Amino acid sequence: MVEAQKYRIEQEMTKMVNDLDRSHLRKMQGDMHRCAAKCCDDQESSLERVHGCIEHCTGPLNQANNYVQGVINNFQNRLQRCVMDCNDTARDRLGPDPKQETIDKCTIEFEKCAMKCVDKHMGLIPSMMKTMKQVLASGKPPPSTE
């Protein structure tokens, strides 16, 4: 049951990243490559200047990718902490020498708790996605997620 929940989250996260790629990141990547190509077309500039120009072109995409990755990492950390709390609660209820019946009961309680964590966090994805799209569409450097 826990594996099914893990798969459910992974599928939703993959869907979210693909949506962000199509709606914002891919255009930014194209812009970056067109900008970098213009840098390389400048036959008068020094090697250092061309490299600096290319670095300047990659900045917005790198910032956007770092922002998205930071939001995803934060989400995954929150989910992980929730599931770890379920695990800790279940372990605390086991006691020093649990009978199989107690282990089975705690396992079921852990799974129910973990499912609640997944359900809660799945519910956060639409607003998280909306916020990321707004930030990426603003054209301003994304805020740090730290």
User: For 72-127, what is each residue's pLDDT tens digit?
Assistant: 999 999 999 999 999 999 999 888 888 999 999 999 999 999 999 999 999 999 99
Please tell me the predicted confidence (pLDDT) of residue 130.
95
**Residue 122: Cβ-neighbour burial (10 angstroms; 0-12, 13-18, 19+):** middle
Please tell me the predicted confidence (pLDDT) of residue 146.
60
Rounded to 5°, angle at Cα 84 from 16 and 68: 25
Instruction: Compute the mean pLDDT over every residue in the chain, rounded to the nearest whole number.
Output: 92
75, 117 Cβ separation under 8 angstroms: no
Please tell me the predicted confidence (pLDDT) of residue 145.
65
Distances in Å between the Cα of 115 and the Cα atoms of 28, 86, 110, 121 are: 37, 10, 9, 10
When comparing pLDDT for 2 and 39, which is higher?
39
Distances in Å between the Cα of 82 and the Cα atoms of 85, 103, 138, 139 are: 5, 20, 32, 34
66, 141 Cβ separation under 8 angstroms: no
